[in-house]
Every structure is written in structure tokens, then in C-alpha cells.
Amino acid sequence: VVDERPDPSPTKPAASAVTISNRDRMIFPESKVTKGDLADYYQHVAGIMLPWTGHRPVSLVRCPQGRSRACFFQKHDAGSFGEAVHQVPIREKDGSTENYLWIDDPDGLVTCVQMGSIEFHGWGARIEAVEKPDRMIFDLDPDEGLGFAETKKAAEHLKEQLAELGLTSFPLLSGGKGVHVVVPLTPQAEWPAVKDFASRFAQALAQAEPERFVATMAKAKRKGRIFIDWLRNQRGATAIMPYSARAREGAPVAAPVSWTELRDLDTAARWSVTDGDALIARAASRALKGWGVADQVLPDL
């Protein structure tokens, strides 16, 4: 008799059809997280990860020998990942065309892990309209020495300034040091307009509080300040995807949070790949209801 009751152990992900070689390979030696564990994590969180990550050109941080060995950032591929990882041709700056990767199901995520991937970074546009961003993002990068408290306050400040312009935003813990302030957009304006808006918004904040914020790349100017990285908003730039693991110590993941929750957090690496159950439960919580969803376009600035 086949037992058709649901699996009583919520930690056990549904089996993937994708074969993982070297399941026991240590990807995060300090946390004893193996390639198999990482594949299981992505299989498990696929349902909450794919609504944002699916149908979007993605770049991968691949570390085939684990996070402490050589890693590389992969943007293009001509088909070596097999059928679960799709391709979308996109015009490059130089006029040539490259095949970018995109996925739309758990097998796609797990196949990337089989290929040695740890991190998933995504464009700010969907494959159906690569020229029209569906989000703007401000990546807050605190100078070394600044604590998470300053980063949180900065994120809150951006939220308020965006709200004054009529824009709803959501915080994403990067899993590293910072917070990303995510502004969902109805795909309408094209890259140059979104980049221009992001640039002017960031410059205005830095001009108003030069002791606190900086909006230029130059490292020298960052001393004791928070860099508002608005350059994630140019065509071809990527940002870490919600629920992606990070190739950093402790196997942290990027995690959506609410503005209220953010106030009580003391690190951007609060959750890790061992927290799949908690992340899934959180995603269904009242606090995260509607995270990343807002039907809005950029006002004139």
C-alpha cells in the first residue's frame, strides 16, 4: 500500500529529478554545508524564490570546489547547463548578442547547483521585456567600521524619501553587510530613464547629508559613510536575488524582511541555507505579505 500522506518532516524537500554529483562535497566547510545540502535548500525554497527570480536573466556565482576556492561570475552560456536552464539572447553594448540564462522551475535552480553555483544574481527586468525594468534598487554599502544600526537607519531614510515621491519600497537583507532597498516598478520606463532617476535620487541624498551618504564609486570618499550604490540600475547590472545563498562564511542567504522587522535585526546575514523551513514559514507571514509587489511608475524628479 502506498502511503500518500504528506511527508511529516517539513525539512525534507521533494526529490529533484536533477542528479547531483559529489553530494558530499563541502561547499561551506566552516558550516559543513555540502553540495547536496545546497541543492536540497534550493529545491525546498523554490516556491518562494521563483516568483521573483524566475523569467529574469540571471548571472551565477560558481564556486565548483567550494566557497573558499576559486569562484567566477557567469553571465552567458550557449547551452551547457541542459534543458532546465533556458537562454534568452540579449544585445550587448558592442552590438553583439549574447545568450543570458533564465530559469522557471526547481530543476533550473538545482541544475545550477549541480554546475557549482552558489549565488543567483538577477537583472532588474524580466525576459519578456528586458528593456523595461520591473524594479529599481538601492544597494546600501556601509564603509567598514559602520555598524548595521547605521545601515538600517539609512535604509529607513531611503524608504521615507521614496515614500515622499509616492514610491513604495521593501528591504532585502543582502546576506552580506548591507541592505537593498527594492522599489517594484510596472515595466514601462526603459533603462536610461530608471538609471537617471536612481542616480539623481542618490545624488540628492548625498548632497543633503554629505557626512552620512556618498553616491560615487570612489572608495576614498566612502570613509565613515554609506555608499548608495545606484549603479545596480543600469542595463546589464545585477543584484542578489531573494533567498539566494551567498558564497560567504556561514552560508547566509539574502532575505526579504518587512520595515518593522528590520528595526529589530542586528545583521544582514540573519538567515542561512539551514533555515529553509523558517524562510518558507516567514514568506507566508503577515509581515511579508505583498513583499516586493507594488503597481507604480517613477514620477518626475
Using Cβ positions, the residue closest to ligand ATP within the complex turns out to be: 176
DSSP 89-154: EEE-TTS-EEEEEE--SHHHHHHHHHTTEEEEEE-SS-GGGTTS-SEEEEEEEEPTT--HHHHHHH
Residue number, 1 or 220, with CB nearest to ligand ATP: 220
User: Binding string, 229-258, against ligand ATP, x = CB under 6 A?
Assistant: x--x-----xxx------------------
| Least spacing, CB of residue 240 vs Mn ion, in Å | 8
Which region, left, alpha or beta, applies to residue 212 given φ > 0 means left and ψ of -120 to 50 means alpha? Answer: alpha
Residue number, 116 or 178, with CB nearest to Mn ion: 178
Q: Which of these ranges, 15-23, 45-53, 115-123, 170-178, lies near Mn ion under the rule CB under 5 A?
A: 170-178
Q: Which of these ranges, 6-14, 72-80, 101-109, 227-235, lies near Mn ion under the rule CB under 5 A?
A: 227-235
Residue number, 239 or 253, with CB nearest to ligand ATP: 239
Nearest to 187 by CA among 74, 40, 294: 294
Question: Is residue 119 involved in binding Mn ion (CB under 5 A)?
Answer: no
Contact residues for 160 (Cβ-Cβ < 8 A; gap 6+): none
Three-state DSSP at 22 gives coil
Q: What's the CA gap between 1 and 19, in Å, rounded? A: 28
Q: Which of these ranges, 21-29, 114-122, 129-137, 175-183, lies near Mn ion under the rule CB under 5 A?
A: 175-183
Give alpha helix (H) positions in the chain: 35-53, 106-114, 148-164, 191-208, 259-263, 276-283
Question: Is residue 107 involved in binding ligand ATP (CB under 6 A)?
Answer: no
Q: For Mn ion, which residue of 62, 141, 155, 253 counts as binding (CB under 5 A)? A: 141
Task: Write out the residues near ligand ATP by the rule CB under 6 A.
Answer: 73, 121, 139, 141, 174, 176-178, 229, 232, 238-240, 268
